[in-house]
Structure 1
Amino acid sequence: MFYGLLGAVIGGRFGYMIFYNSGQLLQDPLSIFYFWQGGMSFHGGLLGVLFSCFLLSKQWGFKFFEVMDFIAPYVPIGLGSVRIGNFLNSELLGRPTEVPWGVIFPSDPLGLVRHASQLYQAVGEGIVLLLFMLWYSKKPRPNMAVSSMFLIGYGVVRCFTEAFREPDAHIGLDLFGLLSRGQVLSIPMIAIGLVLLFYSYRNMVKKDETIS
């Protein structure tokens, strides 16, 4: 657990600087170590956790995806908690809206009514994804399938909920103004998850055919 959290923190910071703040990183490479300035990236944190679990699986004698399949169903608990923290701290504001449940955040200099996108993501990444992962992990499935489904599930939820979130001011939208940076980073997660899921079930079918 400790090494997983360490990997998440280090990877989250490195990912934020590389994916979201590369300009500052180029000007001051040491800023990647300025943890006190804030700035974390889920996608970077995920890479950090994957690296930590890879090292631990080698040390403990487990297969890498056995460790990941065990951890994956419970990751949404942390994700939901972080999003609630973002809401309480008035971070990562939503886009302006006229819906009756819109929120005026004290940190917003414009004082606009905005989507509570942090809570949308807390529900999607936390509650919905948690329930789905717990349900799926109880089903008969091959090795690597749970990890693959997490990549797909998180990527889909993130792409959807990002539509309600204000893009980072210093980045804006990517791909001709169509997608946020979070959506751009989540699409490869979905693609990788689909490939791994297909591969895991194909191997299961081959094993069943061999046994029969």
Structure 2
Amino acid sequence: MLIHPEIDPVALRLGPLAVHWYGISYLVAFALFFWLATRRLRHEPYASITMPAPWNRRDIEDMLFYGVLGVIVGGRLGYCLFYKPAYYLSHPIEIFAIWQGGMAFHGGMLGVIVAMIWWAYSRQRPWLQVTDLIAPCVPLGLASGRVGNFINGELWGRMADPALPWAMIFPAAGPQPRHPSQVYQFLLEGVLLFVLLWLYARKPRKMGQVSGMFLVGYGVFRFIAEYFREPDAFLGLQALGWSRGQWLCVPMVVAGVLMWLWATKRQQISS
């Protein structure tokens, strides 16, 4: 069995300032998004769009700014509403205590959707054209976040057979060997989803198809990974033996399938 290395969550201390690895993972995620999105501008149709204006690097900078706000605000509110609504209703001030931890991907995704709707409206661009551009650029950022989870020794997996070569003991979780579910999510929701989505988006697709594929791909891979991830202690497993994360993936996959089918019937090629 492997033993979690118990890496110091603080990467760098500068007097009273502490730079955490988890914060660095977010910065890496945003940098990866910016780099990939600028490369995505070379793909069709973005390289040829002229109305209402050609796509350019400044657009990506602005989208990143709005996206960061959406991730932070949506991720925090999503965690409070999806996972601990009763607690935060009785302790509303603690909603703002993001340094204490507690971010939800599904909430962050909804925050980004709202932010991109606003950005698309302000720039007079079709919203799905915007989401089709950013969708393939997101998974590697998610992978970076899972690296941060692993370094922190949090969100560990369910108990595993000691004979499993990569079974790992997380000291904070007790002496039992567990699945390194952060690694599973890094590989599935991050690396594999990126490769599949990037290759899919390289060819011209109808507007909304790439976005639909992202919703389906992430929802399916997250659903699978949740079978190996220890459910939150204050929630446990719910109906059908599924975790809260799995139940949140269900509407995501359904929405993705419906979006893809709707986009397939459209004639306009967008991405």
TM-score by length of 2: 0.73
Q: Distance in 2 between matches of 1:104 and 1:23?
A: 32
Q: Which residue of 1 aligns with 2:166?
A: 101
Q: Distance in 1 between matches of 2:171 and 2:135?
A: 35
The list of structure 1 runs, each at least 4 consecutive aligned residues, that deviate by more than 6 angstroms after superposition, is none
Please list every run of 5 or more consecutive structure 1 residues that lacks an aligned counterpart in the other structure: none
Residue 107 of structure 1 deviates from its aligned partner by 2.1
The counterpart of 1:63, out of the listed 123, 126, 141, is 126
- Corresponding letter in the other structure for 2:198: L
1:95-116 CA-partner distances (Å, limit 9, x unpaired): 01111210111322x2211000
Q: Distance in 2 between matches of 1:193 and 1:127?
A: 20
Q: Distance in 2 between matches of 1:139 and 1:175?
A: 40
Matched, 1:123 2:187: yes
Residue 126 of structure 1 deviates from its aligned partner by 0.8
Q: Distance in 1 between matches of 2:229 and 2:138?
A: 22
Q: SS state of the match for residue 238, structure 2?
A: coil
- Corresponding letter in the other structure for 1:14: L
Residue 73 of structure 1 deviates from its aligned partner by 0.1
Q: Distance in 2 between matches of 1:179 and 1:30?
A: 31
Residue 63 of structure 1 deviates from its aligned partner by 0.7
Residue 197 of structure 1 deviates from its aligned partner by 0.5
Q: Distance in 2 between matches of 1:3 and 1:138?
A: 25
TM-score by length of 1: 0.93
1:108-164 CA-partner distances (Å, limit 9, x unpaired): 2x2211000000000001110000010110123100110010000000000001000
Q: Distance in 2 between matches of 1:30 and 1:158?
A: 31
Q: Distance in 2 between matches of 1:74 and 1:112?
A: 37
5 Å-filtered alignment, 1:65-80, equals: 65-80=128-143
Q: Which residue of 1 aligns with 2:154?
A: 91
The counterpart of 1:152, out of the listed 199, 204, 216, is 216
The counterpart of 2:238, out of the listed 156, 171, 174, is 174
Native 8 Å contact 1:24 1:31 kept in 2: no
5 Å-filtered alignment, 1:1-212, equals: 1-98=64-161, 99-108=164-173, 110-176=174-240, 178-204=241-267
Q: Distance in 2 between matches of 1:78 and 1:28?
A: 31
Q: Which has the higher contact order (CA 8 A, sep 6+)?
A: 2
The structure carrying a bigger helix percent of its residues is 1
Taking only aligned residues, the RMSD between alpha carbons, in angstroms, comes to 1.3
